[in-house]
Amino acid sequence: MLATRAVLGPALRKVALSPRLASAATGILNEQRLNRPSSPHFTIYQPQLTWLGSIANRATGGGLSVLLYGFSLAYLVAPGTFDSAHVVEFVSGLPDAAKYAGKVILAAPFAFHSLNGLRHLSWDMGKFLTVKGAYGTGYAVLGATALSTVALVMM
């Protein structure tokens, strides 16, 4: 018993509790909340390449995932035949402007997300972690995305 008290004594201290009404506890909590600093909202900041790139990376990843899963589910529940010959036939009947617009809508997010993923992998290796490095790789990703999008659309 003495050994238990010596080891667990500090952990088993008695604490004096004072009962409070729920409204009093809520009042104390509200007073404490008034003293907290409010967290700034991103709308008060000047847009920067670093956080815009992060948001765009998440948006393109989410959008590409929705397209992949949506197309896969549509393929599974399609009532008729849905093979590559039918897709080629459908796309060949579209106007050229619609074909190029569709290619850009698919190619730009794919290129950006892929290239920005390489940027994140370089950060994981400890490269380009300075502000100058982050902006340099950000502009490189934007330039490479533009070139890759044009190359993919021209295929």
Q: For each of the chain's 155 residues, which pLDDT tens digit applies?
A: 556 656 666 666 777 777 767 777 788 888 888 887 777 777 778 889 999 999 999 999 999 999 999 989 988 898 887 778 888 999 999 999 999 999 999 999 999 999 999 999 999 999 999 999 999 999 999 999 999 999 999 99
Q: What residue numbers does the annotated binding site cover?
A: 113
In a domain, 96, yes or no: yes
Q: Could you tell me the CATH number of the domain that includes residue 124?
A: 1.20.1300.10
Q: Is 128 left (phi over 0), alpha (psi -120 to 50) or beta?
A: left
In a domain, 16, yes or no: no
pTM, full prediction: 0.71
| Count of domains observed in the chain | 1
In a domain, 1, yes or no: no
In a domain, 147, yes or no: yes
C-alpha triplet 75, 76, 82: angle, nearest 5°: 40
In a domain, 10, yes or no: no
The domain in which residue 72 lies consists of 46-153
In a domain, 99, yes or no: yes
| Tokens, residue 65 | 């995932």
Q: How far are the Cα atoms of 40, 43, 139, 152 from residue 54, in angstroms, in the given order?
A: 18, 15, 13, 23
In a domain, 15, yes or no: no
In a domain, 72, yes or no: yes
Residues contacting 60, CB < 8 A, separation 6+? 109, 110, 112, 113, 116
Q: What residue numbers does the annotated binding site for heme cover?
A: 113
Angstrom distance (rounded) from CA 65 to CA 72: 11
